[in-house]
Amino acid sequence: MRTCAVIAEFNPFHYGHAYLLKEARRQSQAQCMLVLMSGNSVQRGEFAILDKWQRAQSALLNGADLVLELPAAATIQAADYFARRSAELVAALQCDFLAFASQGLDAHAYHDLYRLLNDHQSTFDNYLKSALKEGASYPKAYEIALESLQRDRFIKDPVNLKEGNNLLGFGYYQELHQTKTKMIIIQREKKAETIFQSLELPQNLMPGQIFSASQLRSRMVHGQLQAADLPIASYQAYLSGPLIRWEDYYPLLKYAIISRGISQLKAIHLMKDGVETAIYQAALHSTSYEDLLDRLVNQRWTRAAVQRVLLQILLANSKSQWQSALNVFDEKPALRVLGFNRRGQAFLKSRRQGAIQLFTNLSQTIEDSYQLNLKVDRIYQNNLNHQVPEQIVKRRAMILRF
């Protein structure tokens, strides 16, 4: 069956996501819309504001046929790694298409950039190393190196990966351009009216504007969210809660940092450049999660990079443990099915003998391949401020009978 995949976090699921799913189905003519979605941890080193079961249900009620959970080994990583690791799974699942949003870039732009970097990789690497030595963060250094290379090669229309999801899109392109999976690039639609017309929303449900995921999270935690700001399923999930924030885990994080000390922090996955000392000292004097971040974020280390390392500390993932878990997953890849409808069920049946095991119920035979996600869920449930619904025991894939 013709299948189109979307890689997403849906944190939370909003009207822009619904538009993406509908456009992806329209352009691909897919019989099954498959979503590979981050679980309870997301790429920027945070816990999802709504749990994975709530977000998967919102997706299924708004255009998805099947929702699979991305492995934490892909989600708690920098954007380029996240993109390429996730796209690799799309290819392994033998999806016909991968659809993703872009801002101003088309297939030609991605192709030209790929060829440029492929032909001048050593020059690009030198620019990247130079920018890093001057104190730029990795994302900023990558941006500087790319601009420098395009200027050197007299590129008339330089590609800008800063906008929207363009960096993720380039990662998808790098991984998939030589596979059988075709890419559908959907330009991000900013006009609310166009989105609402496409989704055929009734007049009384149309919001005044489209908010980004970060804007919606802010409105949620500050009690400013209106019913019209989100699709009905997402708004109902917001009302039922709880809303999960990093601050809820700050006492656990501070304890984890101080109890380990500098020597043990050094062994944590993603820890580098002697940052363990800065984290330890900042934790000693911090009074809240935001205070801890303020003491650590700087020109060289972005908020997202800091948060990813802090999440690894909270999860107690050492470099060796992380690599071991990654090796097990690569040897026996397994993805959890969060929910599906009739079309999604047909896809699952067609992939029973595939390279990746798609499971609906967690068993001991699968736990090794799922261990990183399992740890995330267990910590996620140990929220100090909210009663978080069970994420693991007796949780089965949601089935929509249509």
For 385-402, what is the mean pLDDT?
92
- C-alpha–C-alpha distance, residues 329 and 72, integer Å: 11
- Please tell me the pTM assigned to this model: 0.94
Q: Is 110 assigned a ligand-binding role in the annotation? A: no
For 24-44, what is the mean pLDDT?
97
Which token pair is 274?
């002697």
Q: Is 17 assigned a ligand-binding role in the annotation? A: yes
CA atoms within 13 A on the CB side of 29: 0
Report pLDDT digits (tens) over 209-218.
889 999 999 9
DSSP state of 268: B
Q: Is 292 assigned a ligand-binding role in the annotation? A: no
Confidence of residue 268 (pLDDT cuts 50, 70, 90): very high
Nearest to 179 by CA among 278, 94, 247: 94
Which token pair is 12?
């939370």
Which token pair is 89?
């799974």
Q: Which residue has the higher pLDDT, 208 or 278?
A: 278
Q: Is 15 assigned a ligand-binding role in the annotation? A: yes
Q: Is 249 assigned a ligand-binding role in the annotation? A: no
Q: Is 19 assigned a ligand-binding role in the annotation? A: yes
CA atoms within 13 A on the CB side of 208: 2
Burial per residue of 202-213, b for 16 or more beta-carbon CB atoms within 10 angstroms, e otherwise: eeeeebeebbeb
Q: Is 18 assigned a ligand-binding role in the annotation? A: yes
Nearest to 90 by CA among 101, 98, 81, 100: 98
- C-alpha–C-alpha distance, residues 357 and 383, integer Å: 31
Q: Is 79 assigned a ligand-binding role in the annotation? A: no
- C-alpha–C-alpha distance, residues 320 and 329, integer Å: 14
Confidence of residue 164 (pLDDT cuts 50, 70, 90): low
Nearest to 395 by CA among 341, 337, 332: 337
Q: Which three-class secondary structure state does DSSP give residue 190? A: coil
Nearest to 85 by CA among 125, 44, 43: 43
Q: Is 118 assigned a ligand-binding role in the annotation? A: no
pLDDT of residue 401: 83
Q: Is 165 assigned a ligand-binding role in the annotation? A: yes
CB 59 within 8 A of CB 35: yes
Q: Is 346 assigned a ligand-binding role in the annotation? A: no
Helix orientation angle between 15-28 and 192-199, rounded to the nearest 10 degrees: 60
Q: Is 283 assigned a ligand-binding role in the annotation? A: no
At residue 161's C-alpha, the angle toward residues 155 and 163, to 5°, is 125
Res 207 pLDDT > 80: no
Q: Is 7 assigned a ligand-binding role in the annotation? A: yes
Query: Looking at 103-228, which runs of residues are DSSP E strands?
Result: 182-187
For 201-213, what is the mean pLDDT?
79
Res 188 pLDDT > 90: no
Sketch out the chain's domains with CATH numbers.
3-103+185-244+332-399 (3.40.50.620), 106-161 (no CATH), 246-323 (no CATH)
Report pLDDT digits (tens) over 59-99.
999 999 999 999 999 999 989 899 999 999 999 999 999 99
- How far from 340 is each of 33, 54, 66, CA to CA, in Å? 10, 13, 4
